[in-house]
Amino acid sequence: MRLFPSLLLVPALVAPVMGQTLADRLKDTHKAWDIALERGDSAAVRRSTEALLQREALGVGTSDYNEMRALVAVQDYAARACVLEGAWEDAIAHLQKAASAADENLKISEGTFGRIRKDHETKITEWRETITRQEQRLKEIEAQPGLTEEHMKLRGQIRGFLDEHKAAIAHSEWSLKEIDGLLAQLRKEQATYAASLAGWQGFLLREKQEMDQAGTPIAFVAEKLEQVKADDARPRFDRLAYARRLVRMDPENADCKRFVSGLMGVGEDADPPEPPAKKKAKAKKK
């Protein structure tokens, strides 16, 4: 369910933001979150992401597409941490917020960059028409049998004018490509999160149906635990997330707890070791 694309900026189209933004905080912390999730430390990532969202989410302006993308990414990390904890209902709540933010970001950005795109296209058309006229004028000057000093001065001015306008066209064409690339990324994010949300909602529905068929949570957990144990081709993240899910359903299942501890090695789920037995002091010889 992870989606963490690079945060693309469109130079000259976005005003700089002073101070540390949510995107800045994300860049500072996402590597640590990745390492913690790989290690299996879901609790630390959940605490960190949810605390960051509580502080920053309401302050994110919907007109700043880059901040909105950062908001979606932080919600994604929070959802992944909840999945790894086995708290899948909480994961879906975060995923719903991520999907909603991605959808809103796309709609607002399409409107904003649509207007900017139209402005660039209009300017490019105007500049090309102007260049055509000035190039014709330059040809007429250069066709003169003898160029006066005034003619040479005017020729230099026209050449400078043409260079400036060609450079402006090149910059606008580059900006159009950047806008198109950004909007394509936002559309992909919106579609990905919508599909992921639907997938998780359907998964939980099937889980409920299977539990009803099993009769009791204890029977369901016993059956699924054997499947998870046997499915050793799956990534450790998936097996650990599902095993922790089963522990939540049947907290008294010692076999499930041992399996989680085995996946973690020496970690948060492992039972503390027994303290070493104290040795009896030898009697001193007189």
* DSSP for the chain, written as a single string: ----------TTTS----S--HHHHHHHHHHHHHHHHHHT-HHHHHHHHHHHHHHHGGG--TT-HHHHHHHHHHHHHHHHHHHHHT-HHHHHHHHHHHHHHHHHHHHHHHHHHHHHHHHHHHHHHHHHHHHHHHHHHHHHHHTSSS--HHHHHHHHHHHHHHHHHHHHHHHHHHHHHHHHHHHHHHHHHHHHHHHHHHHHHHHHHHHHHHHHHHSSHHHHHHHHHHHHHH-TTS-HHHHHHHHHHHHHH-TT-HHHHHHHHHHHSSSTTSPPPPPPPPPPPPPPP-
Tokens of 171: 């910059």
Structural domain contains residue 167: yes
The answer to whether position 11 is within a domain reads: no
Structural domain contains residue 154: yes
Which amino acid is located at 254 in the chain?
Answer: A
On whether both 137 and 179 belong to a single domain, the answer is yes
> What is the pLDDT at residue 20?
82
The helix or strand, by DSSP H or E, that contains position 238, with its residue range, turns out to be: helix 236-249
Residue 253: which domain range?
215-264
174 and 227 fall within a common domain: no
| Backbone dihedral angles phi then psi of residue 88, each to the nearest 5 degrees | -75, -25
Q: Are residues 169 and 224 in the same domain?
A: no
Residues 123 and 183 reside in one and the same domain: yes
For residue 155, tell me if it sits in a domain: yes
Residue the block writes with tokens 């003619």: 151
How many folded domains does the chain comprise? 2
pTM over 0.85: no
21 phi/psi in degrees, rounded to 5: -100, 175
Give the total residue count for the chain.
Answer: 286
25 found inside a domain: no
The dihedral over CA atoms of 226, 229, 230, 234, expressed in degrees to the nearest 10, equals: 130
In a domain, 69, yes or no: no
Residue 196 is assigned to a structural domain of this protein: no
79 burial (CB, 10 Å; 0-12 / 13-18 / 19+) is buried
Last residue of some domain: 172, 187, 202? 187
pLDDT value of residue 60: 93
For each successive 10 residues of the chain (286 residues), what is the average pLDDT?
A: 32 45 94 96 96 93 94 97 96 97 96 95 96 94 85 92 96 96 96 96 95 93 94 93 96 94 68 46 46
- Note whether residue 9 is domain-resident: no
